[in-house]
Amino acid sequence: MSIADLNAANDDIEAIMADIGVRARAAAKKLATIPTKQKDAALLASATLVRANAGDILEANAKDMEVGRSKGLSAPMMDRLMLDDARIETIAKGIEEVATLKDPVGDVMADWEQPSGLNISRIRVPLGVIGVIYESRPNVTADAAVLCLKAGNAAILRGGSESFHSSRAIFDCLEEGMTAANLPDGAVQIVPTTDRAAVGEMLKGLDGNLDLIIPRGGRSLVERVQNEARVPVFAHLDGLCHVYVDRDADLKMAQEIVVNAKMRRTAICGAAETVLVDKAAADRNLRPIVASLIEAGCEVRGDDATQAADGRVKPATNQDYETEYLDAIISIAVVDDVKDAMRHISEYGSDHTDCIVTENSETAVRFLNEVDSAIVLHNASTQYADGGEFGMGAEIGIATGKFHARGPVGLEQLTSFKYQVRGTGQTRP
């Protein structure tokens, strides 16, 4: 069926989405107490099916690629959309990896006894129903769904129209895997239309049947979701990460960290976008830092002092300090001291990940305590802002909000908790 046909057949978006919500809620109630073994069996079956159906997935992907070409999608968009055998294998391996992660549901987070004799424990439980709204990467279909599911949640997936057929083909494998392991109907659902009204229904919360939305994609998607969602959102709008090179920094370490923080991968949210150099040591540090960035292939834009240090530096405007380049470009500014660096970060930063390079432990402690970002690092690259590097296993993204999840969103962050209280007949005086 073509997308146009599907949309025509699905013209009552409100009713379709309401029904998806009801089915997801019913599934979530059952999933909450389903044994780990059964969830893992579903994951392993899905991985096997992804491998077995690689041909169908590639065929579906070819359709999406054709539509993409005819629409004139950009090269990076086409690359995000593209699947091949290696990428399909990565999807299957990713599913299997989540199966090996510890199930957080039922974990005893705390356990204590009160003078009343009551024993109180705080137990992890699933969150409920999680909506994932994503764009052109078809692999998110599997990556997101299996994380939600392993944490006992039902998932509603809404992929972008560009990856419609590919996502659908991957979803078919997941659905068959869930059925094979006897998971409840509706544990993972995909929105069967590319009509944008479906996203609107999700943002309204599906009559209370959607508990959380995770947007995966570009800035405009995240912004729309954050502005309009009537349910909690785990996301970050920008990853405008800073490296502050303090007067007491080891220069060689600073050069290595700055280059790695920017250039290891320029398009990830943990990539550094701005370097702040302490004035007190700018004479010593500025020129070599600029040089190592330019040698690594990075365009450097800087303030007057930075331009004076190296003729290859282009002028930076205020706009530069507000920009997440996601590219081999970086802005540099000289600051008065650590306090001025923190002021700059507070003014331009995005509460994501910021780093100080210094050998002065007092200055480091001050920076770690006072910078109000999800992740603050001392003498380490901002590219470590990653669930895997934090030991959380797979993650579904990085959140910069202060509620519930902050930093990498892994399995534990996809759970809530309840209090179980055990007594021997206590009545309250």
Contact set with its own copies (CB under 8 A): 29, 32-33, 106, 112, 114, 116, 118, 120, 125, 127-128, 211-212, 232, 250, 253, 256-257, 259-261, 264, 346, 364, 368-370, 372-381, 383-384, 389-391, 402-404, 406-407, 416-428
Minimal distance, residue 138 CB to its own copies, in Å:
26
Measured CA to CA, the distance from residue 387 to residue 43 in angstroms comes to 20
DSSP assigned state of 387: T
Measured CA to CA, the distance from residue 335 to residue 322 in angstroms comes to 16
| Alpha helical stretches, state H, 72-163 | 75-81, 85-100, 140-150
| Residue with Cβ nearer its own copies (73 or 210) | 210
Is 395 within 8 Å of 375 (Cβ atoms)? no
Minimal distance, residue 72 CB to its own copies, in Å:
35
Minimal distance, residue 202 CB to its own copies, in Å:
17
| Residue with Cβ nearer its own copies (8 or 108) | 108
Measured CA to CA, the distance from residue 383 to residue 376 in angstroms comes to 12
Is 196 within 8 Å of 160 (Cβ atoms)? no
Which regions of 127-255 does DSSP assign to beta strands (E)? 129-134, 154-158, 188-190, 212-216, 241-245
Burial class (CB in 10 A: 0-12, 13-18, 19+), 309: buried
Q: Label residues 99-133 b or e (16+ Cβ within 10 Å = b).
A: bebebbbeeeeeeeeeeeeeeebebbbbbbbbbbb
Minimal distance, residue 10 CB to its own copies, in Å:
29
| Residue with Cβ nearer its own copies (70 or 424) | 424
Measured CA to CA, the distance from residue 418 to residue 106 in angstroms comes to 10
| Residue with Cβ nearer its own copies (75 or 112) | 112
| Residue with Cβ nearer its own copies (173 or 374) | 374
Minimal distance, residue 310 CB to its own copies, in Å:
22
| Residue with Cβ nearer its own copies (179 or 226) | 226
Minimal distance, residue 230 CB to its own copies, in Å:
9
| Residue with Cβ nearer its own copies (83 or 231) | 231
∠ CA(103), CA(97), CA(172), 5° rounding? 95
Q: How many CA atoms lie within 13 A of 245 on its CB side?
A: 31
| Residue with Cβ nearer its own copies (319 or 369) | 369
The three-class DSSP label of residue 52 is helix
Measured CA to CA, the distance from residue 328 to residue 272 in angstroms comes to 10
Minimal distance, residue 291 CB to its own copies, in Å:
17
| Residue with Cβ nearer its own copies (312 or 422) | 422
Minimal distance, residue 284 CB to its own copies, in Å:
18
Minimal distance, residue 223 CB to its own copies, in Å:
13
| Residue with Cβ nearer its own copies (335 or 377) | 377
Minimal distance, residue 235 CB to its own copies, in Å:
14
Minimal distance, residue 232 CB to its own copies, in Å:
5
Measured CA to CA, the distance from residue 239 to residue 261 in angstroms comes to 12
- Strands 314-315 and 299-302, sheet pairing: parallel
Nearest to 161 by CA among 362, 354, 350, 3: 3
Is 280 within 8 Å of 346 (Cβ atoms)? no
Nearest to 196 by CA among 17, 400, 424: 17
| Residue with Cβ nearer its own copies (138 or 408) | 408
